[in-house]
Amino acid sequence: MEIDDYIVATDSRLVELASEGDQQAFEYLFTRYREALLRLFEQHLDDKTVASDLLQETFIKVYLHLNSYSKTYTFGQWIYTIARNTLIDHIRRRADDVSINEHFRSPQAMTPSPEESVIINQRHSHFYAALEELSEEYRRIIVMRFIEEYSYEEIAEKLSKPINTIKTQIRRARRAVCKLILEKE
């Protein structure tokens, strides 16, 4: 088969060829699904290395069980199911690796300690003091973005300004607030 034929081949055709021992067909299947499956793993894991390992583990399982693939489902559904099950197995193994002490340790307090409360209050007072020293324009943008939690788009719409201008102004206002806070500490 020519390279162009592999590129345009359906998943079913590539599975047939790979089942017959065509390594290049399997490589094309890998290439088609690699990025999507890697994103799936990375969304659920903090470690890109582990995500890559699970991707490899998934394709090993696919390779070993290619002959059991049934056309009842699309190849994409079948490989996604294998990937999902590989992820679930990994999460279970990781949970089993946690020591018995970690399973039964008391949960962290939901309220700050007295010391943490003092620090939080100081930070808030420094922030609001710095906010008062900003220009009206910067103060309005900081309040909208970080206190009222408007998106960049909403701020741009409310102030009738281009979004890039808003992004620049937020960056500058944030820098000014940080500078004022550092001066107070």
Instruction: Determine the residue type at 114.
Output: P
What is the average per-residue pLDDT within 153-168?
92
pTM: 0.51
Averaged pLDDT score across all residues of the chain: 83
With contact defined as beta carbons under 8 Å apart, do 127 and 181 qualify?
yes
CA distance 57 to 53: 6
Is 114-184 the same fold as 3-100? Answer: no
DSSP string, 138-176: HHHHHIIIIIS---HHHHHHHHT--HHHHHHHHHHHHHH
CA distance 1 to 127: 67
CA distance 52 to 144: 40
What is the fold of 114-184?
A: Arc Repressor Mutant, subunit A (1.10.10)
The pLDDT tens digits of the residues spanning 25-43 come to 889 889 899 999 999 999 9
- Count CB neighbours of 18 within 10 A: 22
- Confidence at residue 53, expressed as pLDDT on a 0 to 100 scale: 92
Q: Which CATH number fits domain 3-100: 1.20.1090.10, 1.10.443.10, 3.20.20.70, 1.10.1740.10?
A: 1.10.1740.10
CA distance 24 to 63: 13
- Confidence at residue 115, expressed as pLDDT on a 0 to 100 scale: 73
The pLDDT tens digits of the residues spanning 80-103 come to 999 999 999 888 887 665 554 554
- Confidence at residue 99, expressed as pLDDT on a 0 to 100 scale: 53
CA distance 119 to 104: 30
What is the average per-residue pLDDT within 99-113?
55
- Confidence at residue 184, expressed as pLDDT on a 0 to 100 scale: 67
Residue 13 has pLDDT above 60, yes or no: yes
DSSP state of 73: S
Which sequence spans correspond to the domains of the chain?
Answer: 3-100, 114-184
For the chain, how big is the Rg over CA atoms in Å? 27
